[in-house]
Structure 1
Amino acid sequence: MLQASEIQTRFTHLQQTISEASRMCHADSALPKDLMTWMDELDKECKSATKAMSSKDEDRIRQCVDDLERIGDRAERACQQAGGLDTKIKDAVTSMHSELSDLKRQLH
C-alpha cells in the first residue's frame, strides 16, 4: 500500500483532474445526459471521499477509490458511446479514468 502522504498527494491531484473533467463537461450544452450524470456523481463522491482520505483508515480509503473508479468506468463508457464529443472532453474523461484505475491498482 502507498504511504499516507503519497495517497493524499495522489488523491488531491485526482480531485483536480475530476473537477477539470467535470467543468469541461458542464461547459458543453450538447453533452449526453448519461455522461453528465456520471460526472456529477463523480463530483459528489469525490467530495465525500475527502473525509475518508483524512481518516487514515486504509479499508475505507480503498473502498472510496473503488467506488470512484466504478463511477469513472461508467463515465468513460458513456463517453465512448457518445458520438461527436469534443476531443478535449474525451481526453479529460479518459485521463481521469486512467488516474482512478492506476490509484486503485496501487491500493490493492
Structure 2
Amino acid sequence: MLQHSEIKRRFGRIEHDIEEAATACQTSAKLPQNLKDCVMQWEQHSTKAKKIFDSQDDKSIRRCVDDLEEIGGRAELALQGAAGVDAKVRTAVVHAHSELSDLKRQLH
C-alpha cells in the first residue's frame, strides 16, 4: 500500500481538480444539469473525504477512493454527451477521474 503521506498528497491534487470543476459548473449556466449534479456531489464527497484521509484507516480510505472514483466516472459520462462544455471543466473532470482511477488501482 502507498504511504499515507503520498495518498494525501495525491488526494490534494485531485481535490483541487474537483474544486475547479465545481467552481466552473456554478458559474456556467449552459452546462447540462446532470453534469452539474455529478460534480456537486463529487465536491461534497471530497470535502467529507478529508477526515477519512486524515484517519489513516486503510479500509475507509479505499472505500472513499472507490466512491469518489465512481462519482467521477458518472461525471465523465455526463461530459461525453454534453456539447459546448468549457475546456477547463472537461480537463478538470477527466484529470481528477483519471487520477482517482489510478489511485484506486494502487490501493487494491
For this structure pair, what is the TM-score category when the shorter chain's length is used for normalisation?
over 0.9
Partner of 1:98: 98
Take 2:15 and 2:57, find their aligned partners in 1: how far apart are those partners? 19
Matched, 1:24 2:13: no
Tell me if structure 2 keeps the 8 A contact 1:42–1:72.
yes
1:25-81 CA distances to partner (integer Å, 9 max, x unpaired)? 222111100000000000100011111101110000000000000000000000111
Tell me if structure 2 keeps the 8 A contact 1:75–1:93.
yes
> So what's the TM-score if we normalise by structure 2?
0.94
Structure 1 residue runs without a partner (length 5+): none
Letter matched to residue 72 of structure 2: G
- Identity among equivalent pairs (%): 48
* Residue 23 (structure 1) shift: 1.2
Aligned residues: 108
Tell me if structure 2 keeps the 8 A contact 1:21–1:96.
no
SS at match of 1:29: coil
Partner of 2:33: 33
Partner of 1:83: 83
Larger CA deviation: 21-30 vs 38-47: 21-30
Larger CA deviation: 79-88 vs 3-12: 79-88
Letter matched to residue 47 of structure 1: T
Structure 2 residue runs without a partner (length 5+): none
* Residue 89 (structure 1) shift: 2.0
* Residue 13 (structure 1) shift: 1.4
Letter matched to residue 56 of structure 1: Q
User: What do you get for the CA RMSD once the two structures are aligned?
Assistant: 1.0
Partner of 1:52: 52
> So what's the TM-score if we normalise by structure 1?
0.94
